[in-house]
Amino acid sequence: MNDDTMEKIVSLCKRRGFVFQASEIYGGVSGFWDYGPLGVELANKIKATWWKAMVTANDNIFGVDGAIIQNPKLWEASGHIAGFTDPLVDCKNCHARHRADHLADTDSTNLEELKDLLKDTACPTCGKKELTEPRTYNMMMKTWVGPIEDDSSVAYLRPETAGSIFTNYKNVQETMRAKLPFGVAQIGKAFRNEISPRDFIFRVRELEQMEMQYFIHPSTQTEVYERWREFAWDFLTTQLGIDEKNLQWHEHDENERAHYAAAAHDIYFKYPQGFKELWGTHNRTDYDLSNHQRVSGKDLQYFDDETHKRFVPYVVESSVGLGRLLLATIINAYHEEEINGEKRVVLKLQFELAPYRFAVSPLLKNKPELVEKARDVYRSLKKKHGNVMWDDNGNIGKRYRRQDEIGTPECIVIDFQTLDDNTVTIRDRDTTEQHRVKIENLV
């Protein structure tokens, strides 16, 4: 992958309607992006694939959809108000702010270590060696609930979806009559006031997370942790078709781990800017439930009716950002090829993920008999598959290029032979080979 890959991906995403800059006509807003027609389709398919593998395929994993704003006590108990921080340095000369760990190119967030590493570093914005010492910066996004803007009405946009999973743990356990081990999964928005959003949709301020918290007996933590690590790797490689050579494991050391985690393994994906975090598996121990029990005063213990013992369950978490996953899926599928002397860009997405499953065209758009026949085929395929595109713009070669770029697996062309024998041409995206099939076999 060369250096301009990210530019090419950003340009393709805009040109073909995957991702647009939020408020683009006003110059955008840093860290926020809008998904366009194809981006929504791809994102929905990724979410549906994850939901099926994580929730509906399992007997003991249940879904929830919590509110974005919760009682601020939740974030006090979870440690986010005190500890959800990143290290920051200011430039005394130009007033730019930078993530200290990114500037020092380290995974550590230890302030003393960062101070040492950055002592001779110049500000990347103005080039002056006038950086302040690193300090912590809280990433929670604040707002007010109700008409009075004072301390009593302060609320936070959730920084992770996990919070409402912990507060609903008893509700789910009781309503679903669940016994340990069981999991609760959620897909939803989260907000982080990142110091420097960057790398397209990789680091944003409004993100969507897909998380699952698995509640267990503490004695099973190692085995369960390994199982969810394996799940993440399998999901990426088999369900999303991501090449193993684009993935690697990264284990957090003590200085990198989040405030709640006893162990953490990330899967890194090879983004154009390097191998970076995509999916985390964390052992959160009884950190969250114990803290919620303490702060709320409610009993959150689990009663084991076989051993007649009460205890606070441990939690193993599987957490991935949808935007990072969608970006990884597109980068992994992106290929530039030369076929018969012609260059093309092709997204080799898994068939199930492609925003459009088929494109249907009449060979010529000024021949009503071809158009009518093509419309018939289009309608029947659309009835069955939904995501079928009508494409009669430009010549056939141009249509194929366009469909290759958005990853449409098969293009169907209705020509004069169709009128005689009811067969159509199907062209395969990956091999570019064409063959004829009967319409009835197609539909």
Binding footprint of ligand ATP on the chain (CB under 6 A): 160, 192, 194, 203-204, 207, 209, 277-280, 319-321, 323-324
Q: Can you tell me the distance from the alpha carbon of 439 to that of 384, in angstroms, rounded to the nearest whole number?
A: 14
Give the contacts of 416 (CB within 8 A, at least 6 positions apart). Answer: 363, 370
Report in angstroms how near the CB of residue 86 gets to ligand ATP at its nearest. 7
Give the contacts of 336 (CB within 8 A, at least 6 positions apart). Answer: 343, 344, 345
Q: Can you tell me the distance from the alpha carbon of 330 to that of 325, in angstroms, rounded to the nearest whole number?
A: 9
Q: List residues bridging with 264 in a β-sheet.
A: 282
Q: Can you tell me the distance from the alpha carbon of 43 to that of 45, in angstroms, rounded to the nearest whole number?
A: 5
Report in angstroms how near the CB of residue 203 gets to ligand ATP at its nearest. 5
Positive/negative CA dihedral, 18, 21, 22, 25:
negative
Q: Single out the residue of 174, 160, 183, 191 nearest to residue 66, CA to CA.
A: 160
Q: Can you tell me the distance from the alpha carbon of 87 to that of 271, in angstroms, rounded to the nearest whole number?
A: 23
With respect to ligand ATP, which residue has the nearer C-beta, 211 or 391? 211
With respect to ligand ATP, which residue has the nearer C-beta, 322 or 414? 322
Report in angstroms how near the CB of residue 321 gets to ligand ATP at its nearest. 3
Report in angstroms how near the CB of residue 110 gets to ligand ATP at its nearest. 15
With respect to ligand ATP, which residue has the nearer C-beta, 117 or 327? 327
Q: Single out the residue of 164, 178, 176 nearest to residue 303, CA to CA.
A: 178
Q: Can you tell me the distance from the alpha carbon of 216 to that of 311, in angstroms, rounded to the nearest whole number?
A: 10
Report in angstroms how near the CB of residue 118 gets to ligand ATP at its nearest. 18
Report in angstroms how near the CB of residue 156 gets to ligand ATP at its nearest. 15
Query: Residue 439: helix, strand or coil by DSSP?
Result: helix
**For ligand ATP, which residue has the nearest CB?**
321
Report in angstroms how near the CB of residue 92 gets to ligand ATP at its nearest. 26
Report in angstroms how near the CB of residue 104 gets to ligand ATP at its nearest. 14
% helix, strand, coil for the chain, step of 5: 35, 30, 35
Query: Residue 61: helix, strand or coil by DSSP?
Result: strand
Query: Residue 294: helix, strand or coil by DSSP?
Result: helix
User: Which helix (H) or strand (E) segment is 155 a member of?
Assistant: strand 154-157
With respect to ligand ATP, which residue has the nearer C-beta, 106 or 422? 106
With respect to ligand ATP, which residue has the nearer C-beta, 207 or 371? 207
Q: Single out the residue of 144, 87, 143, 80 nearest to residue 115, CA to CA.
A: 87
Report in angstroms how near the CB of residue 122 gets to ligand ATP at its nearest. 24
With respect to ligand ATP, which residue has the nearer C-beta, 330 or 442? 330
Burial 3-33 (b: 16+ CB within 10 A, else e): eeebebbbebbeebbbbebbeeeeeeeebeb
Report in angstroms how near the CB of residue 34 gets to ligand ATP at its nearest. 15
Give the contacts of 194 (CB within 8 A, at least 6 positions apart). Answer: 31, 86, 139, 203, 204, 205
With respect to ligand ATP, which residue has the nearer C-beta, 196 or 220? 196
Q: Can you tell me the distance from the alpha carbon of 58 to that of 67, in angstroms, rounded to the nearest whole number?
A: 24
With respect to ligand ATP, which residue has the nearer C-beta, 173 or 209? 209
Q: Which residue has the tokens 């758009």?
A: 365
With respect to ligand ATP, which residue has the nearer C-beta, 209 or 329? 209
Q: Single out the residue of 227, 249, 226, 245 nearest to residue 237, CA to CA.
A: 245
Report in angstroms how near the CB of residue 399 gets to ligand ATP at its nearest. 34
With respect to ligand ATP, which residue has the nearer C-beta, 194 or 404? 194
With respect to ligand ATP, which residue has the nearer C-beta, 258 or 371? 258
With respect to ligand ATP, which residue has the nearer C-beta, 109 or 167? 109
Report in angstroms how near the CB of residue 197 gets to ligand ATP at its nearest. 7
